[in-house]
Amino acid sequence: MLAFLLRRVATALAMLLVVGTIIFSMLAIVPGDPAELLLSTGGGSASEEAIRNLRLEMGLDRPLLQQYLTFLGDSLRFDFGTSIVDGSSIAEAIALRLPRTLEIIAAGAVLALLLSIPAGTLAGLRAGGRFDGITSGLNALLTSIPGFVLGTLFIYVFAQVLGVLPAGGYVAFAEDPAQHLQMLILPAVTVALHLSTIIFRMTRASVLEMRGHDWVRTATAKGLSRGLVVRRHILRNALGPVITVVGLQLGILLGSTVLVEFVYNWPGLSGLLVTAVEQRDYPTVRAIILTVAAIFIGINLVIDILYSLLDPRIALQ
Amino acid sequence: MTALPLAARRSRRLPKLPKRMILPAVLLALLIVTPFAAPLLTPYDPVQISVRDRLAAPSWEHWLGQDEFGRDRLARVLYGGQVSLTVAFVATSIACVIGTLFGLIGAYFRGPFEFVTTRLADVVLCFPPILLALLVVTLFGPGADTLVAVLSILYFPAFARIAFSEALRVSALDFVEASRALGTPSHRIVLKTILPNIAGPVSVQYSLTAAAAITIESGLSFLGLGVVPPAPSWGQMIRGARAFMNQDPLGILIPCVALTLTIYAINFFCDRLRDTLDPKGNAGGKDVTSVPAPGRAPVQEEADVIASVRDLRLELRHPKGAVDVIEDVSLTLRANQCTALVGESGSGKSLTSLAIMGLLPGAIRQADGALHLRRKQGGMVDLGALGPKALEDVRGNDVAMIFQEPMTSLNPIHKVGAQMVEAILSHRKMPRAEARSRAIALLELVGINEAARRFDGYPHEMSGGMRQRVMIAMALTCEPRLLIADEPTTALDVTIQAEIIELLQKLRQDYADGLSLLFISHNLGIVSEIADRVVVMYSGQVVEEGPAQQVLTDPHHPYTRALMESMPSAHADLHSARGDRLQAISGTPPLPDARPSGCSFRDRCPMALPACAEARPPLFASADGSRAARCIRAPEAQEAA
Amino acid sequence: MTPLLEVRGLNKSYPAGRKGLFGKRMMQVLRDVSLTVQPGEVLGLVGESGSGKSTIGKAILRLIPSSSQAMRFDGQDLNTLPSADLRRLRKDMQIIFQDPYASLDPRKTVRAVLSEALDTHDLHRGAARQPRLTALMEMVGLNPIFLDRRPHEFSGGQRQRIGIARALAVEPKFIVCDEAVSALDVSIQAQVLNLLADLRAKTGISLLFISHDLSVVRYISDRVMVLYLGRVMEVGGADQVHFAPRHPYTAALISAEPSLGHAPDRIRLTGEIPSPLTPPSGCVFRSRCPYALPACAETAPELRPAGEGRLKACIRDDILQGT
């Protein structure tokens, strides 16, 4: 078990290094002068001096290897440098905004789990029945609506037509808890609905698969009650694949929440990111992506360890 | 002979499009083709601005109205669809080709290729898709070309991963090995054998990816970082209409519906495709075990009868009408007796035993007959008259069962001891510690060394033989009067099989008083060692029954006789090199829906008469009533004995 | 007579699981196996799971890599054969698999399956193809009108016949039958066994018949080799080994086999088959052997003559001397 843990942590660190390297080298493999590229907007080119300044600022004049090592070292200390647009600290901006993004994701994930695991289990147990028909049909429809479309429609319905919820915006929790929560509802529900379609599907499939295993028949033959059979011999086994998918999806959500935040004007990472991309503020984009990828790798590490606790065979592989 | 080449030409049959694929295929085709038919559907230019008509409502000229710049919305939706679909499908196709190639090479040649393929996928999967896309957009600026490039890079690892794991699975199959053994060149094996067999999962992935690519493309355009204005795209239309959603909800609704409908059509197609390719996944059916039906037959009250099956008829529910899989099977199981149920696969022996457990699969229905069981309190009960709760109480308590596959019959994620204790506690009220010591005692009884240590171990730490011992111990936890063993040694090695048989013999003698054993097997050798009575089944019917010794030395039914004739182990004097041949039964057992008229065995029977085709023969009992055979020639055989 | 196939000192290891943090454990599934097959001979390989019997078949066909001191087939050295020549040689050595469902490509018709074999070795092209396919189908007892069907339209026994036809298509001199009848019901198994016996009588083909079923192996084989944990325990004539085993393991195996009628005087084995990862020292069978002596733990016994051209790997000569 210890060997398994160490191996998994080592793999995660290696992945992190590879991800960092890739992000670093993307700028290096871009054809032409990166500084010139970043400063060019809409066909117009920047002045010689501006380019020279940026090159100095980003250290692009130094040898590649040195740039690389500096980048890795700085990243380890969470020193992402400053924005090339306004010179503000990137790490500070991320530290301010990341918690807001994580809040939406956490609220959405909790809602999604509460909704989809029971529904998926029931649908899996009664596959082909009426409940399964309705939930699976609804699920297929929801899966097909992209998050930002759902968000836009929600704003129209709940803010414009019904007027029951704010169309967007943000107030810090410390300032006004009630309004903060009210503003959280729509973004969180949007994220939750999207996430729950995936968890529902996985739970249903996993339950459907597990219920056909020989040990379920053994459990029934032992005379266990139906509830016990479902809980201990179907659901418990089905959870492994489900949490793996949840982990993977949480990582993807770190990205797609950008769209939801944008729809609701939620000042999470998205605003920072979208502005940075528009202004070609590469250091900022790079820092955000590195942070998110690191969180993603961390989540998957936790999930792997959780899974190995759920299923003792995993650690042996 | 001349007919043959003709027959050959007739059928290079290609699998036809299955019925359930027609609707999704048509819907998808429609949604993909319509945008590209835009010039035929609307004369307007999607980028032509007409400020005077901004936000105009639908009219005869402009069916869907005009947008915030007065551009024709129908034209914008259609041309926007062109862009979205082109970006998505071009990118998906590139990703599919490259990824599949990577996967195939990785799986077939293994080694470093494998490492690169799997690790590459791991790395790309670390980046949330939208973020990776944004990173590239930062460097190269927005635009359709950038999008295609980004989406291809984003999605090819998914294809590589699917193709890799599927190709690995297929490569391990014997038919690929057979091609290699034939000396077929590698590229031919990969392209002609492996590729067609992984095409299913890859095409499912293709649909999934196309849907995801459209979502991302429209998302980026929505952020203003995808397709560059003024070129239309659905994401951009939503972005533009957002500001006016109050005055003009239609502006939001139209692109939202177009986008959702397209993604839905792709997903729908994908779902149906998956179901069609892998019918197992959609093997729905409610997860109910079919409950026993109350019987009409009177209860047998002889005191030593533990269980009885009377005229059992089971039917398989089928869209095209029910098929009888079991026809009038009757069994009487007595205390201290081992009854063996013998037959080949498909004979119905396992279904019969599951019926006694009340564990029939949902698709099988008890159409007729009665199942009675003696409870510990003494009385016989009709299983069909018990409710589900009462059945739970009977299972494991009055009747227990062990199964063929010890490797899969125990839950891999629970400790062995926990699985025994839960069985005890569901029938007996006792402290956990007491249940534990009882379980350990049982593990010792079935011959497991270091029982206390094994109690806290997992099934995967044990060999097949040990797991089967655990299964036996688990079955005995509540001292059942009837133990059903369904091919308990078939999956085991011959020396281990001998040990398990010996264990069962010992348990019958020492353990529970009056244990009745129903032993299901296809192996007449084992049956002759353990059984007191033998019941032979063929194609869902009992064809012969009687005391084991008599049936196995002097079978009365031609099927039983033929079965014994075809066993090499019963003919130690024969050897193939000396020109001896086994007396094989010709043909194969009939499927339940294709049984011949009259006697089910007649078209394989060496001594069939014309009369055999007329009516299904009844069981002819011997003079002393101890034996019976379902053959119109049985009376002859019984007299000869 | 020069043997058709001669294998000396065949070894095979697999990586199995991990050891410590990053190390890999090797599991030796075959150790120092030697065998010969004469032209027209059927050699039976018997053993329980983990004995390595199937590995031998695949190693000989070079379907998996292995190492050996010598491996000669029909006068050619398989260890040094260039891959192009090996492909040509595959025409002469074929294999029949256990699982009639996994051994046929579900997407190919019988015609495509058999044609792949013929095309690969450039046999019976053009007008000669159809008569050859018809003849093959008839040879294995299938109606030639089934040529354009796909595997799912056949029963298990019929599929097994198609597998045999595929192996026979290239007119090999030698076929590995890897548990070729084990998945079949008794009545069908007898049909296929008879078919193999007939083919052999007619064509003089050599077979390596791998099975866990002793009676089947005895019936079909001329000589039998008994394996345990990747090592040869005993070799001898089929009837000799079956009715008068010289090695305690063979004796136990045969007595464990259930038989009709009389209850056998069973040799009891204790314990489980050890894992190939941690085989006992010395004789691998000693941990379960009723006749084991302290000396058995010291060195692995050599395979040595035991009279009548038989070989056994056991240090005791005072047991199992019956005939």
C-alpha–C-alpha distance, residues B283 and A209, integer Å = 9
Q: Does the pLDDT value for residue B10 go beyond 50? A: no
Q: What is the fold, at CATH topology level, of the domain defined by B76-278?
A: MetI-like fold (1.10.3720)
Handedness of CA B507, B513, B518, B524 (dihedral sign): positive
User: What confidence score (pLDDT) does residue B605 get?
Assistant: 92
User: What confidence score (pLDDT) does residue B4 get?
Assistant: 38
- Tens-place pLDDT, residues C254-277: 988 888 765 557 787 877 788 888
Residues 166-185 of A with CB under 8 A from B: none
Q: Do C130 and B5 touch (CB under 8 A)?
A: yes
Task: State the average pLDDT over residues B91-98.
Answer: 95
Residues 205-244 of C with CB under 8 A from B: 212-216, 218-220, 222, 238-239, 242-243
Task: State the average pLDDT over residues B599-626.
Answer: 91
Best of C19, C21, C25, C275 to disrupt the A interface (most A CBs within 10 Å) is C21
User: Chains touching chain B at 3 or more Cβ pairs under 8 angstroms?
Assistant: A, C
Which candidate, C265, C268, C267, C250, places its Cα nearest to that of C310? C250
Min Cα separation B235/chain A (Å)? 9
Domain ranges of chain C: 5-221, 248-323
Q: Do C20 and A7 touch (CB under 8 A)?
A: no
Residues 470-509 of B with CB under 8 A from A: 471, 474, 477-478
CA distances from A274 to A27, A226, C128 (A): 19, 52, 70
- Tens-place pLDDT, residues A140-161: 999 999 999 999 999 999 998 8
C-alpha–C-alpha distance, residues B119 and B160, integer Å = 10
Determine contact: C307 vs chain A, CB below 8 A. Answer: no
Inter-residue contact B149 to A293 (CB < 8 Å): no
Among chain B residues, the shortest Cα distance to C159 is held by B175
Task: State the average pLDDT over residues B473-492.
Answer: 92
Q: Does the pLDDT value for residue C193 go beyond 90? A: yes
User: What confidence score (pLDDT) does residue B512 get?
Assistant: 63
Q: Which CATH superfamily is domain A96-316 in?
A: MetI-like (1.10.3720.10)
Of B174, B182, B494, the CB nearest to C257: B494
Q: Do A3 and C17 touch (CB under 8 A)?
A: no
Task: State the average pLDDT over residues C63-73.
Answer: 93
Residue A39: pLDDT band with limits 50, 70, 90: confident
Residues 192-211 of B with CB under 8 A from A: 211
Torsion, Cα B340 B345 B347 B350, to 10 degrees, reads 60
Inter-residue contact B596 to C241 (CB < 8 Å): no
> Residues with Cβ < 8 Å from B279, sequence gap 6 or more?
none
User: What confidence score (pLDDT) does residue C231 get?
Assistant: 94
- For residue B353, the tally of other CB atoms under 10 A from its CB is 23
For residue C216, what are its two tokens?
């089947």
Q: Do C257 and B562 touch (CB under 8 A)?
A: no
Q: Does the pLDDT value for residue A165 go beyond 90? A: no
User: What confidence score (pLDDT) does residue A125 get?
Assistant: 92
Determine contact: B271 vs chain A, CB below 8 A. Answer: yes
Q: What is the DSSP string of A209-220?
A: HHTTSHHHHHHH
Min Cα separation C249/chain A (Å)? 32
- Tens-place pLDDT, residues C35-49: 999 999 999 999 988
Lowest mean pLDDT: which of A294-308, B6-20, C193-207, C291-305?
B6-20
CA distances from C305 to C33, C136, C224, C309, C314 (A): 16, 42, 15, 7, 10
Among chain C residues, the shortest Cα distance to B15 is held by C107
Whole-number mean pLDDT of chain C?
A: 90
User: What confidence score (pLDDT) does residue B2 get?
Assistant: 36
- Tens-place pLDDT, residues B431-480: 999 999 999 999 999 989 889 999 999 999 898 899 999 999 999 998 89
Angle between helices B3-10 and C129-139 (to 10 degrees): 100
Give the side-chain half-sphere CA count within 13 A for B187.
0
> C93-96 and C174-178: which strand pairing?
parallel
User: Chains touching chain A at 3 or more Cβ pairs under 8 angstroms?
Assistant: B, C
User: What confidence score (pLDDT) does residue A271 get?
Assistant: 84
Inter-residue contact C248 to C315 (CB < 8 Å): no
- Tens-place pLDDT, residues C11-40: 999 887 665 555 667 888 999 999 999 999
Residue A221: pLDDT band with limits 50, 70, 90: very high
For chain A, the residues whose C-beta falls within 8 A of a C-beta of chain C are 3, 6-7, 316
Q: Does the pLDDT value for residue B1 go beyond 60? A: no
Determine the straight-line distance between the first and last CA of chain C, rounded to whole angstroms.
Answer: 28
> Residues with Cβ < 8 Å from A311, sequence gap 6 or more?
A237, A240, B412, B413
Among chain A residues, the shortest Cα distance to C24 is held by A317
C-alpha–C-alpha distance, residues B263 and B257, integer Å = 10
Lowest mean pLDDT: which of A72-81, B112-121, B483-492, C173-182?
B112-121
User: What is the SS3 assignment for B21?
Assistant: helix
Q: Does the pLDDT value for residue C159 go beyond 60? A: yes
Architecture per CATH, domain C5-221, reads as: 3-Layer(aba) Sandwich (3.40)
Among chain A residues, the shortest Cα distance to C20 is held by A3
Task: State the average pLDDT over residues B359-378.
Answer: 88
Among chain B residues, the shortest Cα distance to C162 is held by B175
Min Cα separation A21/chain C (Å)? 24
> C70-73 and C5-19: which strand pairing?
antiparallel
For residue C127, what are its two tokens?
């007008």
What stretches of chain C show up as alpha helix (H) in DSSP?
Answer: 53-60, 83-89, 110-120, 129-139, 156-169, 186-203, 214-220, 238-243, 248-256
Whole-number mean pLDDT of chain B?
A: 87
C-alpha–C-alpha distance, residues B65 and B59, integer Å = 6
Q: Do B178 and C163 touch (CB under 8 A)?
A: yes
Determine contact: B351 vs chain A, CB below 8 A. Answer: no
User: What confidence score (pLDDT) does residue C264 get?
Assistant: 59
User: What confidence score (pLDDT) does residue A22 get?
Assistant: 86
User: What confidence score (pLDDT) does residue B285 get?
Assistant: 53
Min Cα separation B277/chain A (Å)? 16
Q: Does the pLDDT value for residue B636 go beyond 90? A: no
- Tens-place pLDDT, residues B233-255: 899 889 988 888 888 888 889 99
Q: Does the pLDDT value for residue B13 go beyond 60? A: no
- Tens-place pLDDT, residues B258-281: 999 999 999 999 888 887 876 554
Q: Does the pLDDT value for residue C310 go beyond 90? A: yes
Handedness of CA A134, A140, A145, A146 (dihedral sign): positive
Which candidate, C145, C231, C264, places its Cα nearest to that of B8? C145
Inter-residue contact A99 to A300 (CB < 8 Å): no
Task: State the average pLDDT over residues C210-228.
Answer: 95
Lowest mean pLDDT: which of A111-120, B64-73, B260-269, B320-329?
B64-73
Min Cα separation C234/chain A (Å)? 36
Cis peptide before B230 (omega within 30 of 0): yes
Residue B56: DSSP 8-state? P
C-alpha–C-alpha distance, residues C236 and B628, integer Å = 45
Inter-residue contact C235 to C225 (CB < 8 Å): yes
Q: Do B499 and C269 touch (CB under 8 A)?
A: yes
Instruction: Select, from the ranges A30-44, A59-73, C92-106, the one with the highest average predicted confidence (pLDDT).
Output: C92-106
- For residue B281, the tally of other CB atoms under 10 A from its CB is 12
- Tens-place pLDDT, residues B302-311: 888 999 999 9
Q: Do C17 and A7 touch (CB under 8 A)?
A: no
CA distances from B307 to A57, A219, A282, B333, B376 (A): 89, 22, 79, 5, 12
Residue A286: pLDDT band with limits 50, 70, 90: confident
For residue A174, what are its two tokens?
């410390």
Task: State the average pLDDT over residues A49-53.
Answer: 80
Domain ranges of chain B: 76-278, 327-404+481-640
The letter for the amino acid at A258 is V
Determine contact: B268 vs chain A, CB below 8 A. Answer: yes
Q: Do B411 and A208 touch (CB under 8 A)?
A: no
C-alpha–C-alpha distance, residues C178 and C47, integer Å = 12
Torsion, Cα B621 B622 B627 B629, to 10 degrees, reads -50
Contact residues, chain C, for A3 at CB < 8 Å: 18, 20-21
Task: State the average pLDDT over residues C98-107.
Answer: 89
Q: Does the pLDDT value for residue B12 go beyond 50? A: no
The letter for the amino acid at B258 is A
Q: Do C260 and B583 touch (CB under 8 A)?
A: no
> Residues with Cβ < 8 Å from C196, sequence gap 6 or more?
B576, C164, C177, C180, C207, C209, C220
User: What confidence score (pLDDT) does residue B456 get?
Assistant: 94
Which candidate, A121, A132, A128, A138, places its Cα nearest to that of A197? A138
Domain ranges of chain A: 2-90, 96-316
Percent of chain B with pLDDT over 70: 94
CA distances from B164 to B103, B157, B167, B179 (A): 4, 10, 5, 19
Which candidate, B260, B262, B236, places its Cα nearest to that of A145? B260
Q: Which CATH superfamily is domain B327-404+481-640 in?
A: P-loop containing nucleotide triphosphate hydrolases (3.40.50.300)
User: What confidence score (pLDDT) does residue C134 get?
Assistant: 95
Contact residues, chain C, for B583 at CB < 8 Å: 190
User: What confidence score (pLDDT) does residue B50 get?
Assistant: 79
Task: State the average pLDDT over residues A240-247.
Answer: 88
Of B8, B175, B567, the CB nearest to C147: B8
CA distances from B566 to B56, B244, C190 (A): 86, 84, 5
Q: Does the pLDDT value for residue B14 go beyond 50? A: no
- Tens-place pLDDT, residues C280-309: 999 999 999 999 999 999 988 999 998 888
Percent of chain B with pLDDT over 90: 42
Inter-residue contact B612 to B605 (CB < 8 Å): yes
